[in-house]
Amino acid sequence: MRIPLFILFLATAAIVVGQKRLSEGSISFSVLTLAQNQVVGDSLIAHHFFKGAHTRTDLIGVLGKTITLFDTREEIGAIVREFGGQKIMIPLDASSWADKNAWYSPDSIQYINEEQTILTYPCNRAQIRLRNGALLRVWYTPSIVLENKDTEFQMGDLPGLVLAYDYENEGKVVSYVAISLNFDPVPIQKFDIPSSGYRLLSYAESKKQL
């Protein structure tokens, strides 16, 4: 038994050593909503920024943008919405952040023997059954691991960075595909929460408006 166990240890160690850790940088996704294989609604771009415990997501479309900021160390953040002349800020704490991201809490993960390349990175396929019964179809690369996994798009305990995923929502399929990835330093000012210029709305009130 010693030889097989030793070989398994070496294989596991090789994967870990070969992984690149994304502790600072950014990743951008093209976001499309499909109905009967046809694009419907606004085409969006999602920019995710990381710097240690800091995360920021900019979801940008023709009609406006939503910026989500959170510091997982200080457990404070905000959702900033700008649509037309309307500017709203929703403060976040640890409880509201957990509630906001609860939709992708995994019930089970199934690994599927399929591969494809995204942004030159070899990706493996997985299916995640969420606790609400929904199904996520995910492509992730074992070559990169996200250091701060408490983000809006890194689902479950996958052994790598998610570069594409889709899910069904009210009869439509929402598809995310990575279009860029870099490890460049991100200025800390990128994660500053605005101090003025926005109408404040509580997280509880914002949920009633959805």
User: Which residues, in sequence order, are bridge partners of residue 78?
Assistant: 69, 91
Domain annotation covers residue 149? yes
| CB of 28 closer than 8 Å to CB of 43 | no
Domain annotation covers residue 143? yes
d(CA 43, CA 79): 20
The pLDDT-based confidence of 9 (bands split at 50, 70, 90) is: very low
Q: In residues, how long is the chain?
A: 210
Amino acid at 112: I
For residue range 44-72, list pLDDT tens digits in order. 999 999 999 999 999 999 999 999 999 99
Domain annotation covers residue 2? no
pLDDT for 207 equals: 86
Domain annotation covers residue 4? no
The DSSP call for residue 194 is: P
* pLDDT of 107 higher than 70: yes
* pLDDT of 6 higher than 90: no
User: Which residues in the chain belong to E strands, given as ranges?
Assistant: 20-22, 24-35, 38-51, 54-60, 64-71, 76-83, 86-93, 106-118, 121-130, 135-141, 144-146, 161-169, 172-182, 199-200
Higher pLDDT, 148 or 3: 148
Q: Look at the block and give the residue holding tokens 């030793």.
A: 6
Q: Which domain holds residue 179?
A: 20-208
Domain count, the chain: 1
Domain annotation covers residue 164? yes
pTM: 0.86
* pLDDT of 5 higher than 50: no
pLDDT for 210 equals: 60
Domain annotation covers residue 199? yes
Domain annotation covers residue 104? yes
Domain annotation covers residue 3? no
Centre a 10 Å sphere on the Cβ of residue 126 and count the other Cβ atoms it contains: 23
Domain holding 24: CATH number?
2.50.20.10
pLDDT for 149 equals: 79
pLDDT for 151 equals: 79
pLDDT > 70: percent of the chain? 90
* pLDDT of 1 higher than 70: no
